[in-house]
Amino acid sequence: MSQKSGKISRRTLLGGVIAAAVLPVGNLLAIGNSKPQLPAVADDPTKTPGPGPSPLGRRSPFENPVRKPSDISSRTPLQDMHSTITPADLHFERHHAGVPTIDPAKHELLIHGLVGTAMKFTLADLKKFPSVTRICFIECAGNFRTGKEEMTPQDILGLTSQSEWTGVMLSTIFNEVGIDPTAKWFLAEGSDAAVMTRTIPLAKAWDDAMIVYAQNGEAIRPEQGYPMRLLLPGFEGNMNIKWLRRIELSEEPYMTREETSKYTYPVKDKIRMFSFELDARSIITYPSYPAKIAKGYVQIRGLAWSGRGKVNQVEVSTDKGQSWQKAVLQEPVLSKAHTYFRFDWDWNGEATEILSRVTDETGYLQPTLKQLIEARGPNIGGYHMNPVTTWQIKQDGSVLFKPEPLK
Ligand SMILES: Nc1nc2c(c(=O)[nH]1)N[C@H]1C(S)=C(S)[C@@H](COP(=O)(O)O)O[C@H]1N2
Ligand SMILES: [Mo]
């Protein structure tokens, strides 16, 4: 226990749980003299002979984490995750016209506009450039649901996931084609039926944008944009164009449909109401609905992230937000990445509310929903919502989401 949590000691924790199964010290010391006597362990009655080596692994039939699909998206079961990497088959998906099946032998990425030489790149071409790997999250700017108590982290904000991405820095490719000094923006276009387009400030390309072709060590999934997608760490998910087929350098933003409608909120005289970066956010993923806890030791666990850099600290309140204590962050804390936090709690069995709030390296503190409404007005919309999430702990140990009014 790294946490100074007062009454909790290893002894009380292990007490009724596993102490009975621990070997007496005497038995260990006896090694060398005579064979130690191991306590008998019951044979697992459900054990059946295994199938032997196979070309592909699979989950234990006792573990069934699933995405929650609707017609346009599916959500990551954050409450089933134990740390920060999302297995690729559980990465959330958001698409506007389904998932295209693309043969990489027939796919090309065209880069043109204000460039020295317009060029086309196949997947094989991209793989010849120096490759880079980084871990970061993707989050949809519309990642917010509320309304009832029976909601899981997946229901509330399952439109975020994290992977280890591999590909080539966009700057490497831009240096290859040569960028005209008048260029300030670049359009990215996907080859799905929706022909998703967004314009992105050129500065992002010189900073940390990538074209990625691998996810968690293998080719990216079709849902994530196979054979290649744009990765813009920290920027709203919508701009991370999947099935990338065209990039056009320009002087001005194109003001595509996605830019003037939902994702960017009203664009007034080309001034966005929101930054491209997603603001810092956190959520307790355990305990959360539908978990049930018992009096005594409970390790509170969750995720925190920021589109502007590293998580600086996460604080947890177990008394409805009256007082806050620092959670422990799992190292390494990465920039623009889901960060796992833990907090040791000794629940006294009384009804309460538990909350988390994150501060990122820019000093930004995650707001409450009330503060967001005060800052943005009553027509808050559904985008860039990152409020503190509260869980109600009932006396019987059940955990329920606390939906708060949107006005
Ligand atoms: N070509 C294309 N790119 C796209 C989309 C799309 O519909 N088509 N959806 C965007 C949106 S709204 C989001 S939130 C992210 C989701 O990425 P994911 O499905 O890999 O999680 O992809 C973005 N890129
Ligand atoms: Mo999105």
CA-based torsion, 264, 368, 356, 67: positive or negative: negative
Residues 252 and 343 in one domain: no
The C-alpha torsion from 246 through 249 and 254 to 258, rounded to 10°, is: 40
Expressed as residue numbers, the domain containing 327 is 281-401
Residues 184 and 235 in one domain: yes
Nearest-CA residue for ligand 1 atom 23 is 238
Tell me which amino acid residue 26 is.
G
Number of domains in the chain: 2
- Cβ of 95 less than 6 Å from ligand 1: yes
Strand extents, DSSP E, 170-275: 185-190, 197-201, 210-215, 218-219, 229-231, 244-250, 267-268, 271-272
Residue 337 to residues 32, 101, 307, 334, 364, Cα–Cα distance (Å) = 50, 29, 8, 5, 16
45 in any annotated domain = no
- How close is the Cα of 142 to the center of ligand 2, in Å? 6
- How close is the Cα of 118 to the center of ligand 2, in Å? 30
The total number of residues shown for the chain amounts to 407
Mean pLDDT of 362-380: 90
317 in any annotated domain = yes
Nearest-CA residue for ligand 1 atom 5 is 95
Residues 289 and 228 in one domain: no
Residues 197, 218 contacting (CB under 8 angstroms):
no
Exposure letters 103-119 (e unless 16+ CB within 10 A, then b): eeeebebebebbbeeeb
- How close is the Cα of 28 to the center of ligand 1, in Å? 56
Residues 158 and 301 in one domain: no
Q: Looking at residue 341, which CATH number applies to its domain?
A: 2.60.40.650
- How close is the Cα of 237 to the center of ligand 1, in Å? 6
pLDDT surpassing 60 at residue 19: no
- Cβ of 92 less than 6 Å from ligand 1: yes
Number of other CB atoms surrounding residue 85 within 10 Å: 16
Q: Looking at residue 186, which CATH number applies to its domain?
A: 3.90.420.10
Secondary structure letter of residue 351 according to DSSP: -
Average pLDDT along the chain: 89
* Alpha carbons 288 and 300: distance in angstroms, whole number: 9
Nearest-CA residue for ligand 1 atom 7 is 95
Tell me which amino acid residue 312 is.
N
**pLDDT digits over 129-162, tens only?**
999 999 999 999 999 999 999 999 999 999 999 9
Lowest mean pLDDT among 8-12, 64-68, 80-84, 242-246: 8-12
Q: What is the pLDDT at residue 380? A: 79
Asked, as a colleague might, if the bond just before 405 is cis with ω within 30 of 0, I would say no
- Cβ of 238 less than 6 Å from ligand 1: yes
Q: The whole model's pTM is what?
A: 0.89
- Considering every ligand atom, which ligand is closest to the CA of 74? 1
**pLDDT digits over 67-109, tens only?**
999 988 999 999 999 999 999 999 999 998 999 999 999 999 9
* Alpha carbons 241 and 187: distance in angstroms, whole number: 10
Residues 73 and 169 in one domain: yes
Q: What is the pLDDT at residue 12? A: 52
Residues 252 and 293 in one domain: no
Nearest-CA residue for ligand 1 atom 12 is 238
Tell me which residue of 338, 354, 337, 356 sits closest to 346, measured CA to CA. 354
* Alpha carbons 293 and 291: distance in angstroms, whole number: 7
Residues 186 and 252 in one domain: yes
Q: Of the residues 72, 78, 92, 94, which should be mutated to test ligand 1's pocket, given the most ligand atoms within 8 Å of the CB?
A: 94
Q: How many CA atoms lie within 13 A of 192 on its CB side?
A: 22
Q: What is the pLDDT at residue 261? A: 54
Tell me which residue of 366, 324, 367 sits closest to 345, measured CA to CA. 324
**pLDDT digits over 20-59, tens only?**
444 444 444 444 556 677 777 777 766 777 788 999 999 9
- Cβ of 194 less than 6 Å from ligand 1: yes
139 in any annotated domain = yes
Atom of ligand 1 nearest to the CA of 237: 14
Residues 134, 167 contacting (CB under 8 angstroms):
no
Nearest-CA residue for ligand 1 atom 22 is 238
Q: Of the residues 164, 240, 243, which should be mutated to test ligand 1's pocket, given the most ligand atoms within 8 Å of the CB?
A: 240
Mean pLDDT of 177-184: 97
* Alpha carbons 334 and 354: distance in angstroms, whole number: 26
> Domain boundary at 229, 262, 295, which?
262
